Amino acid sequence: MIYYLNELTALIAVPLLLLCFRGFWPHMWRLWKTDAQKDRALAAMLGMVMLVDVKGVIRMAYWDLWRSYQTGGLQSLDGTLINSGMNMIASVAALAGLMALFYSIPDDERHKYNWFTAPFYPGPCWWMK
């Protein structure tokens, strides 16, 4: 059972990180299109955070899911524990990002969203209709 902990934590972290990427993309793009230098600097910093997010998703998708699928799940126990620990840290960071997206929604519209639908603000998701 502990050998599949890595895959389980990656299956949780990857969708959460993709939701964060989806939610922060419009913010970064809006900041980048302004003429103010401080907004462009903030957009560049947000872009670097999103780049690390995407790198984490690619790493987890390849090393934790695809490679494990190809080898039949055979990994060393210490590698599984280290990777699953990193995946859990990524999940907590993604939840913090989703919380930030949720609290960036104006108060009068926040009741229509939750942490997992906040990345799709201002338009509703297809499953919210």
Interval 12-38: pLDDT, tens? 999 999 999 888 888 888 888 887 787
Domain limits, the chain: 2-120
Please tell me the pTM assigned to this model. Answer: 0.81
CA atoms 24, 25, 26, 27: torsion sign:
positive
pLDDT at 125: 59
- Asked if residues 109 and 35 have their Cβ atoms less than 8 Å apart, the reply is no
- Asked if residues 86 and 17 have their Cβ atoms less than 8 Å apart, the reply is no
The predicted model gives 74-89 an average pLDDT of: 77
Tokens of 97: 């990002």
Q: State the amino acid at position 58 in one-letter form.
A: I
- pLDDT above 70 as % of the chain: 86
